[in-house]
Amino acid sequence: MASSGVCTVAVVDLTGKTVVITGGARGLGAAAARAVVDGGGSVLITDVLEAEGASTAEELGGAARFLRHDVTSEADWQAALDHAVAEFGRIDGLVNNAGIATGQLLEHESVEHFRRVVEINLVGTFIGIKTAIPLLRANGGGSVVNISSAAGLMGLALTAGYGASKWGVRGLSKIGAVELAEAGIRVNSVHPGMTLTPMTAPIGIQPGEGRFPGAPLGRVGSPEETAAAVAFLLSDAAAYMTGAELAVDGGWTAGPPIPNPAGR
């Protein structure tokens, strides 16, 4: 039977872990924050969307905090991680989720916008990893989960800045995995496909079976389905995974669906 798209994955055990999640005010980030708290962990949500971020943290209760955070600022990164340690005593995980999208053909994309997308999506992720390394190293290790995209696994039209930055996040994750393994720091990337979030809603995607025929599973994903993968990578259950690319895309990057499957 086809899935309804409702995530029913069992809660992942994150008891005692503190995780910092950027772009956590809404969408994938908020779903990941909820998964951490549901798993017994604590979370610092950061975002530039102050009202939404504060509301999400309040909803999650005493195990969650919110801090305004510009991921392109080294000073903001240091302040965010220092705040997490002050509030919870340690950092065990980092989810680099903050990002913006672009929707222009390459020939129409402005240099200024391209630079802005890369600065937030890729440079922000780099600064975050770099700033977190000493804290994770001091704890004897930890998990970094970088949110890339299906657009970081294939050439996707209309995503000049976004796609390039997400390929960069994918590569940066590999480099981090190799360099930081000796410190017990695992670095993996997650590649969501078409997922219904506030960032994708403006392009008109709809949930439900048959609404996304370009993917073998035939539907768009939910934030909770990506959050389940993120929680797994944060957990000790993924202790032997680093440098991995986890596609949560309904098979979109695997290949096109076969025509007329009922007629086989």
pLDDT for 206: 60
Question: Catalytic residues, which ones?
Answer: 162
* Nearest CA-CA partner of 143 in 240, 211, 220: 240
Q: What three-state secondary structure class fits 110?
A: coil
Is 26 contained in some domain?
Answer: yes
Q: What CATH number does the domain containing 179 carry?
A: 3.40.50.720
pLDDT for 145: 99
Is 2 contained in some domain?
Answer: no
pLDDT for 204: 60
pLDDT for 219: 87
Is 261 contained in some domain?
Answer: no
Is 4 contained in some domain?
Answer: no
For residue 136, the enclosing domain spans 18-252
Say if residues 147 and 192 touch (Cβ distance below 8 Å). yes
pLDDT for 4: 40
Is 262 contained in some domain?
Answer: no
pLDDT for 9: 55
Element (H, E) at 81: helix 74-88
CA dihedral 109, 112, 113, 119 (to 10 degrees): 130
| Residues belonging to the chain | 264
Is 257 contained in some domain?
Answer: no
Q: How far is CA 111 from the centre of its chain?
A: 25
pLDDT for 210: 53
What tens-digit pLDDT sequence spans the chain (264 residues)? 233 444 445 689 999 999 999 999 999 999 999 999 999 999 999 999 999 999 999 999 999 999 999 999 999 999 999 999 999 999 999 999 999 987 789 999 999 999 999 999 999 999 999 999 999 999 999 999 999 999 999 999 999 999 999 999 999 999 999 999 999 999 999 999 988 666 665 566 665 565 577 888 988 899 999 999 999 999 999 999 999 999 999 998 999 888 766 655
Give the total number of structural domains in the chain.
Answer: 1
pLDDT for 215: 84
Is 109 contained in some domain?
Answer: yes
Is 108 contained in some domain?
Answer: yes
pLDDT for 227: 97
pLDDT for 184: 98
Element (H, E) at 64: strand 64-68
C-alpha–C-alpha distance, residues 6 and 122, integer Å: 30
